[in-house]
């Protein structure tokens, strides 16, 4: 391989890295798991749906990757502790934590039941806090570590019917910044990836909706939903040593949504 190729492979490689991925069996989690295993990482596939995580483990193994499934409920402190202990016992260390588990229920502020509020907050925000705290204790012992939280376009821009979800994702970015500030002294970095409108089972209802999908396309400069695969590059970069001086930021991968979406009709000789 060329010298440039060698260098890139070295700084972006996840070889030898033990990576915890929550929500691993979901639409985005699966792609991140495949992508990071392909870059040499060993992935702890953590999900409340153990069967789906085990199925993913077999699929990754069939492609020559390294991954092991673990059961995890991020709403349950005992489950978090048992899962993190089992991973440390098995691998001896944790290099990267990716908090990807998340849920949403689209309904108006006036309609949200307290139980719905508690569940979305419990998984998306408290779950990220508790999981990071438990893993952070291990990373503190190691004096090294790296946290990647999955935010959302909705951490900046609000959408109707997503009040609780938007609040959790804004909170996730705030937490990411706090982790970066407090934990740099322990050798731990923290960043967020904020996906725009990505087509997965979580968002399929919106993309199939007759009016909401039209509205969405107008708000994306690239006029299409993202694919989960399109988040993999940033994830590998943040998990690898290529990003060794990057901490405390949220990176939006959104096809040009936050910048303003597709333009209104303007005068130009250059018709697309
Ligand atoms: N799909 C999008 O357009 C989009 C956009 C922005 C951000 N996100 C975020 O990306 C992340 C993944 O979304 P997705 O589209 O893959 O969703 P998904 O529903 O496909 O996957 C979520 C995964 O989390 C797991 N999970 C749910 N509750 C859990 C719990 N208590 N403990 C452990 N695991 C649990 C589920 O079993 C599932 O495997 C979420 O944090 C979501 O908010 C998604």
Quick: pLDDT tens for 45-68.
999 999 999 999 999 999 999 999
Q: Ligand 1: residues within 6 Å at CB?
A: 22-23, 25-29, 47-49, 72-75, 100-103, 123, 150, 152-153, 195, 197-198, 200-203
- Cα separation, 7 vs 262, in Å, equals 37
pLDDT, position 203: 83
Strand ranges (DSSP E) for the chain?
Answer: 18-22, 42-47, 66-71, 96-99, 145-150, 188-195, 250-253
- Other residues' Cβ atoms within 10 Å of the Cβ of residue 138: 17
State the pLDDT confidence band at 112, using cuts at 50, 70 and 90. very high
- Tokens representing 186 are 């322990």
Contact 218, 262 (CB under 8 A): yes
pLDDT above 90: residue 202: no
Domains of the chain: 3-251 (3.40.50.720)
Ligand 1 pocket test target in 202, 229, 230 with most atoms within 8 Å of CB:
202
Output the CA 117–ligand 1 centroid distance in Å: 16
**Residue 173, CA distances (Å) to 32, 147, 167, 168 in order:** 20, 12, 10, 9
Average pLDDT estimate for 68-94: 98
Nearest Cα residue to 203 out of 190, 192, 212:
212
List the catalytic residue out of 165, 186, 251, 270: 165
Average pLDDT estimate for 17-36: 98
Average pLDDT estimate for 91-115: 97
Average pLDDT estimate for 165-188: 98
Atom of ligand 1 nearest to the CA of 195: 6
Phi, psi of 150 (to 5 degrees): -90, 110
pLDDT, position 121: 98
Nearest Cα residue to 199 out of 31, 23, 53, 59:
31
Q: What proportion of the chain, given as a percentage, has pLDDT over 70?
A: 100
pLDDT digits (tens, 9 = 90+) for 226-262: 999 999 999 999 999 999 999 999 999 999 999 999 9
Identify the residue whose C-alpha is closest to ligand 1 atom 2: 198
pLDDT, position 227: 97
pLDDT, position 205: 87
Contact 193, 214 (CB under 8 A): no
The yes-or-no answer on residue 251 being catalytic is: no
Nearest Cα residue to 132 out of 140, 250, 34, 53:
140
- Cα separation, 258 vs 235, in Å, equals 19
pLDDT above 70: residue 1: no
Output the CA 26–ligand 1 centroid distance in Å: 6
Total residues belonging to the chain: 272
Average pLDDT estimate for 23-31: 97
Output the CA 88–ligand 1 centroid distance in Å: 24
Q: What is the pTM of this model?
A: 0.97
Atom of ligand 1 nearest to the CA of 30: 16
Greatest pairwise CA separation for the chain in angstroms: 64
């Amino acid at each position: 391989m060329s010298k440039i190729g060698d260098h890139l492979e070295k700084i972006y490689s996840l070889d030898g890295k033990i990576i915890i991925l929550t929500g691993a069996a979901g639409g985005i989690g699966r792609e991140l798991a495949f992508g990071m295993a392909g870059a040499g990482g060993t992935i702890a596939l953590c999900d409340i749906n153990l069967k789906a995580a085990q199925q993913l483990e077999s699929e990754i193994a069939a492609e020559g990757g390294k991954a092991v499934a673990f059961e995890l409920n991020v709403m349950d402190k005992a489950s978090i502790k048992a899962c993190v202990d089992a991973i440390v016992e098995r691998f001896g260390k944790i290099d990267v934590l990716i908090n990807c588990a998340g849920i949403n229920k689209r309904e108006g502020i006036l309609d949200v039941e307290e139980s719905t509020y508690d569940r979305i907050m419990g998984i998306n925000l408290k779950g990220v806090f508790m999981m990071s705290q438990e893993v952070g204790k291990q990373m503190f012992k190691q004096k090294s570590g790296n946290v990647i939280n999955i935010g959302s376009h909705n951490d900046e821009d609000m959408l109707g019917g997503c009040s609780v979800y938007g609040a959790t994702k804004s909170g996730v970015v705030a937490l990411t910044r706090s982790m970066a500030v407090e934990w740099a002294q322990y050798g731990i970095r923290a960043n967020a990836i904020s996906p725009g409108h990505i087509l997965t089972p979580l968002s399929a209802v919106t993309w199939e909706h007759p009016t909401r999908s039209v509205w969405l396309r107008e708000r994306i400069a690239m006029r299409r939903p993202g694919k989960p695969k399109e988040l993999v590059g940033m994830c590998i970069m943040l998990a690898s040593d290529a990003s060794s001086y990057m901490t405390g930021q949220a990176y939006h991968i959104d096809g040009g949504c936050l910048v303003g979406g597709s333009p209104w009709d303007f005068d130009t000789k250059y018709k697309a």
